[in-house]
Amino acid sequence: MEGQNSRKARRPRGKWSAEQREQMVAESRQLGASVSEVAQRHGVRTALLSAWRRKAASRSTAIGFAAVQLSSVSSEGVIEIDLSSRCIRVRGIVDGTMLREVLAAVR
């Protein structure tokens, strides 16, 4: 029984509020912060804090679209295709046939 008394008092499972979890996640994302140090400071397992971080990241990575408004339509433009070994830039008026020819030449 003596060994149990010398153990660090632990918080009951699942007793962190949403605000406390958010605070710990925010602390762990500070520049130079260590997830394990933040977890230890708050008495949380590192794996649990990491799970909270993943969950928060998945909520905040929603894809958004920006509205685009053109003031005038240009008949000329640039198409840029970035490949792993090279970059293809096609300028001017580009139609499907021309683009297919350019891509076929790259192969």
Residue written as token pair 């339509």: 73
**Tokens linked to 46:** 């590192």
pTM of the model: 0.46
Per the listing, tokens 């804090």 go with: 49
Q: Domain boundaries in the chain?
A: 2-60, 77-106
The three-class DSSP label of residue 91 is strand
Q: Which residue has the tokens 């509205």?
A: 67
Per-residue pLDDT reduced to its tens digit, 39-94? 999 999 999 999 999 888 777 655 566 665 655 555 677 777 777 677 778 788 77
Neighbours of 35 (CB within 10 A): 18
Query: If you ran DSSP here, which 8-state letter would residue 8 be given?
Result: P
- DSSP letters for 22-83: HHHHHHHTSTT--HHHHHHHHT--HHHHHHHHHHHHHHH----------SS--S-EEEEEE-
